[in-house]
Structure 1
Amino acid sequence: MSDDKPLRWEVRQRLILIEARLIWAGCLTTQDLRGAFGISRSQASKDIALYESLAPDNLQYDLRGRCYRAARSFQPRFLHGTSREFLRALRLFDPESEHPLITLASETAAVELLEMPEREFDVVTLQRVNTAIRERLQLRVDYQSMRVPEPRPLQLSPIALVHTGLRWHLRAFSLSHERFIDVLLSRMRGVPELLDEPAMSADEDWEWKSIVPVRIGAHPGLSAHQRAVIETDYNMQAGVLERRLRIALVPYYLRLMNVGKDDRKRPPEQQQIILLNPEELSELDRLA
Structure 2
Amino acid sequence: MSTFDLSRAQASKEINAYKNEHPENIVYDLSAKTYVPIEGFAPKYAQLNPSTYLNDLVAMSRGEAIPDASWYSLTPEVFSPPIPVRGVKAETLRLLMQAIDSGRHVRTLYQSMSAPEPKERTIAPHALCFDGFRWHVRAYCFDAEEFRDFVISRIVRAKIVEQSSPVGCCEDVDWNTNITLEVGPHPDLSEAQRRVVELDYEMTNGRAQLEVRKSMLFYTLKRLGLDTPVEARPAHQQHIILTGPSDLLKQMRGAT
Matching residue's letter, 1:197: Q
Is 1:130 aligned to 2:91, yes or no?
no
Alignment of 1:168-179 (within 5 A): 168-179=135-146
How much has 1:86 moved relative to structure 2?
1.5
8 A Cα contact 1:144 1:188, kept in partner: yes
Which is further off, 89-98 or 76-85?
89-98
Q: 2:2 aligns with which of 13, 16, 31?
A: 31
TM (norm. structure 1) is 0.75
Give the structure with the larger helix fraction: 1
Alignment of 1:7-26 (within 5 A): none
Q: Structure 2 vs 1, CA of residues 271 and 64 (structure 1 numbering), >3 Å: closer, same or farther? A: same
| Residues 1:117 and 1:146: Cα distance change in structure 2 (over 3 Å) | same
1:104 to 69, 72, 83: 72
Shift of 1:130: 2.1
Q: Residue 155 of structure 2 corresponds to which residue in structure 1?
A: 188
**Partner deviation per Cα, 1:35-76 (whole Å, 9 max, x = no partner):** xxxx54444445545555665433344445554443322223
Identity of aligned residues (%): 30
What stretches of structure 2 of length at least 5 have no aligned partner?
none
Structure 1 residue 231: deviation in Å? 0.3
The number of equivalent residue pairs is: 253
2:235 — aligned with what? 268
Whether contact under 8 Å (2:58, 2:79) holds in the other structure is: no
Question: TM-score, with normalisation over the residues of structure 2?
Answer: 0.84
1:210-265 C-alpha deviation (Å, 9 max, x unpaired): 12211111011112221111101110112111112211011111111112451255
Equivalent pair of 2:59/2:66 in contact (CA under 8 Å): no
- Which structure 1 residue ranges, 5 or more long, are not aligned? 1-29
Whole-Å separation in 2 of the counterparts to 1:69 and 1:259: 46
CA contact (8 A) 2:217 2:252 kept: no
SS in 1 for 2:136: strand
The aligned runs of 1:91-240 (5 Å cut-off) are 91-93=58-60, 97=65, 99-101=67-69, 104=72, 108-190=75-157, 192-199=158-165, 200-240=167-207
Q: State which drifts further: 198-207 or 256-265.
A: 256-265
Letter in 1 for 2:83: M
Q: Distance in 2 between matches of 1:68 and 1:167?
A: 47
Where do 4+ consecutive residues of structure 1 move more than 6 Å? none
Q: Displacement, 1:98?
A: 6.9
Shift in Å at residue 31 of structure 1? Answer: 2.1
Q: 1:198 and 1:116, CA in 2 relative to 1: closer, same or farther beyond 3 A? A: same
SS of equivalent to 1:217: strand
- Output the CA distance in 2 between the equivalents of 1:54 and 1:89: 30
The farther-off stretch of 170-179 and 109-118 is 109-118
In structure 2, C-alpha distance between the alignment counterparts of 1:31 and 1:49, rounded to whole Å: 18
Cα distance between partner residues in 2 of 1:117 and 1:67: 46
* Counterparts of residues 30-49 of structure 1 (less than 5 Å): 30-34=1-5, 39-49=6-16
Change (3 A) 1:266 1:44: same
Shift in CA distance, 135/269, structure 1 to aligned 2, threshold 3 Å: same
Q: Tell me by how many angstroms 1:285 deviates.
A: 8.3
8 Å contact from structure 2 (residues 56, 66) kept in 1: no
**TM-align CA RMSD:** 2.8
- What is the alpha-carbon distance in structure 2 between the residues aligned to residue 255 and residue 124 of structure 1? 30
Name the SS of the counterpart of 1:186 in structure 2: helix
